[in-house]
Amino acid sequence: MPTELTATGPKLTHRSTLLERLVDFESELGVEFVVEMHLPGYSLGEKWASLPKSAQDYDNGIIVISSVDPVAGVQPRLALLPPFPITDASEAHSFEYLRAFDAKPHTIAIILLRLGHWAVGIAEDGELVVTKTGSRYVKNQHRKGGQSSNRFRRGREKWIRELFDQAGEVASARFRDYPGHLEFLKLGGDRVVLGQFIKRIKLPDRLGDRVLQNRVAVDQPGRKALDDAVRDSWSYRIFELGE
């Protein structure tokens, strides 16, 4: 009876590191690899059952890599959750289609937001080409009760709306002026705040409907956080399978 495999991960892996890993695979003597690229809505076979639920139903589809060894037979090796949606399903005994998928250029918009600060960017094929950062005062807490507390709550709601409007106005202007097509929107920051922001702000070209799946964790929106968001946007979430 075959040994049950376990899955470890996910490990966030930049595309450059993934390509190096593929070269290492190709150097394994006597081993052939099967690469399956599945569209969103996929269903994997029993041999991938150890993958967690997050990898069994991923909005962008999934890439699974198995090795074929003359002695061990077919062994699942990696499951990759891609940063961008798979649009063409394939199965191959080489990494050709995976490399072509990875090399496909993308251009995305980025909005990072926490109460008090925001950052906006545009990235072309993994490189920032537009950046803008800003801030607007939002007081965090109020210790008194009664009418004073109610006044503070109304004031804080006003400050948040003003922050959203400021960030949304800048983002819309930068995105609208960009000469090319923005495919997706990457968001970073507090989940609740971002949800409120997207509901209030109307972005050009319905960008708010094309949000990439994984939100970036952000402590302080700014240039460094934008760089981190770009790296995340061109990274895979990889599960390793083994005994």
DSSP state, residue 87: -
Structure confidence by residue, pLDDT tens digits, 109-139: 999 999 889 999 999 999 999 999 998 766 6
Q: Which amino acid is at 228?
A: D
Helix axes 191-200, 146-177, angle to 10 degrees: 70
Residue 144 banded pLDDT, cuts 50, 70, 90: low
pLDDT at 193: 92
In the predicted model, what is the mean pLDDT of residues 197-219? 94
DSSP one-letter string for 35-77: EEEE-TT----GGGTTS-HHHHS-TT-EEEEEEEETTTEEEEE
Q: Catalogue all structural domains in the chain, each as residue range(s) with its CATH number.
A: 6-104 (no CATH), 107-233 (3.30.420.60)
The one-letter amino acid at 199: K
pLDDT, position 5:
85
Judge whether 121 and 132 are in contact, CB under 8 Å: yes
CB-side neighbour CA atoms (13 Å) of 180: 14
φ/ψ of residue 232, rounded to 5: -60, -40
Edge-first strand listing for the sheet containing 107-114:
127-135, 117-124, 107-114, 184-189
Please state the rounded mean pLDDT for residues 201-227.
Answer: 95
pLDDT of 151: 65
Digit-coded pLDDT (tens) for 180-196: 999 999 999 999 999 99
Tens-place pLDDT, residues 90-115: 999 999 999 999 999 999 999 999 98
